[in-house]
Structure 1
Amino acid sequence: MELPPLSTEQLSQLVVSNAPPSQLFEALSRYELQACLISTGVNSPNEGGGNFTLLSLFYSSFFLVHLLTDQVSEARALTKRIPEALLQQDPSLQNCLTLLRAVWQTQHGQVYQVLRGLPWPDALEPLVRRYESFFQDKTLIAVSRSYEAIRLATAAIHLGLDEQLAEQEDPNIISNFTKCGWTWDSESKLLHPKPIVVSPPEPRPSNGIRKAMTMLGTRAC
């Protein structure tokens, strides 16, 4: 299949699409070689100009899609392949490194702080918000299976909810958990999780690459 040149327009189309994360990953994977070749001529923002911006968007997007597909170790490996000058000078990639440390160390509060509090370019916002939702869902499932009882404030921290409101036993905070089947004991001030069962992911279709290329506006050979 012919791969169109890597460009901010191609990346922007992928980022805003509602394509499954696995298809986004496949599409971006095919661009890594092009990104590597472009990066050989970029040493700084001033020298690289538009290519520096393009590479920032590519590597930041690819990193976030690694996390969206729950490939944390692979995301860590990706940071070793990003050109050092780009990694050290680009604010978005610095955010990615900070996010990686928080995810790797399972610092839930820090993960939400990075996703919500650090400045992300508008072009990356769709992926940042998708990962925030993914991380919340994944954490909720994990907590539901790990605890028989948990303080409301602790559960709120795991989900990125307002800890102060949780301390005040805010009904809206409580409902975030009871609507999942959890029970709230007002006497003990504890939540009793109900394990959340999710359907196994559908197997990746054999034509996943073909679908990914369709999103990029290419035609299968």
Structure 2
Amino acid sequence: MELPLSIQQLSKLAESNVSPSQLFGILSQYEADARLVSAGCGSPETGSADPELLSFFYASFFFAHLLTKQIPEARALTQRMPEAIRLQDPCLKNCLILLRAVWQTQHAQVYQILRNLQWPENLQPLVRRYDSFFQDQTLISVSTSYEAIRLPAAAVYLGLDLAAAEQEDPTIIEKFTQCGWKWDSETKLLHPTPIIVPSTVQKATNGIHDAMAMLGNRGG
């Protein structure tokens, strides 16, 4: 029997604009199929497991967990991954590194992992999507946690160019003032305006990235 799980279907799903909850729900239904593929390893009846398919599925499902802010559940998922590919596959190794950085809220490291590590081409849409989502969620958190913050520190939180922030680059400052933040040129401090997003506001593409759209190009 041909299983519904395939690289082609996963690629289309990764590139789609389904909401994070829909993405998670669809991939949840595929996990049983992934177990069947994994169980085929070494079986004369079913043939060998497909490591590329398993890697793509588990990496996609991992990012679906992150996009729905299910961090403990993402950690549990890594324990359900077939051990052979979890320990050897470069993409799943990247996922484990990313999970550790997210778990420890190491913002700069999260951006570095997402933007600088080698991710498979067909997974790139989800990697970029989570980059935007993480940036937006961090912006909201910083805006409600600080009354004042230095520009370089804010840049690190948002994955922006630190060297440019240290030079008080106007384009970096503008990324924050476009959010309604105030820049005090005398004290060299940013004064955030709290961003409150209703729980009912859920965008189908990049978290709330389209709704806010104030950071421009990431990192720049």
Indicate whether 1:72 and 2:71 are aligned: yes
Number of equivalences: 197
Aligned partner letter, 1:56? S
Instruction: Give the aligned partner of residue 123 of structure 1.
Output: 122
Task: Describe the SS at the equivalent of 1:30.
Answer: helix
Aligned 8 A contact 2:40 2:48 in 1: yes
For 1:48 and 1:174, locate their aligned partners in 2 and report how far apart those are by CA, in whole Å.
Answer: 54
| TM-fit CA distance, 1:48 | 4.3
1:163 aligns to what?
Answer: 162
Matched, 1:179 2:185: no
| Correspondence for 2:103 | 104
Distance (Å, rounded) in 2 between the aligned partners of 1:74 and 1:144? 27
Report the TM-score, using the length of structure 1 for normalisation: 0.86
CA distance in 1, matches of 2:160, 2:81: 33
**TM-score (normalizing by structure 2):** 0.86
Deviations 1:36-77 (A, max 9, x none): 12112337xxx946x110000000000011101111111011
Offset from partner CA, 1:159-187 (integer Å, 9 cap, x none): 00011100000011001111111000011
Would the aligned equivalents of 2:3 and 2:33 in 1 still touch at CA under 8 Å? no
Tell me the residue number matched to 1:82.
81
SS in 2 for 1:31: helix
Identity over aligned residues, as a percent? 64
Distance change in 2, residues 1:202/1:166 (3 Å): closer
Q: What residue is the counterpart of 1:38 in the other structure? A: 37
Q: Matches of 1:96 and 1:26 in 2, distance apart?
A: 20
Unaligned segments of structure 2, at least 5 residues: 203-220
Alignment partner of 1:7 is 2:10: no
Report the 3-state secondary structure (helix = DSSP H, G, I; strand = E; otherwise coil) of the residue aligned with 1:116: helix
Q: What are the ranges of 5 or more consecutive residues in structure 1 without an aligned counterpart?
A: 204-221
Is the 1:42–1:52 Cα contact (8 Å) retained in structure 2? no
1:202 deviates by 5.3
Provide the secondary structure at the position in 1 that maps to 2:190. strand
* Distance verdict in 2 for CA 1:53–1:184, change over 3 Å: same
Q: Where do 1:57-68 residues align within 5 Å?
A: 57-68=56-67
SS of aligned partner of 1:184: strand
> How far 1:5 moved relative to its partner?
1.5
Question: Distance in 1 between the 2:81 and 2:182 partners?
Answer: 46
Q: Whose relative contact order is higher, 1 or 2, with alpha carbons under 8 Å and at least 6 apart?
A: 1
Equivalent residue number for residue 200 of structure 1: 199
Q: Write the letter of the residue equivalent to 2:117.
A: L
Q: 2-side partners of 1:94 and 1:106: how far apart?
A: 18
Indicate the RMSD between aligned Cα atoms, in angstroms: 1.6
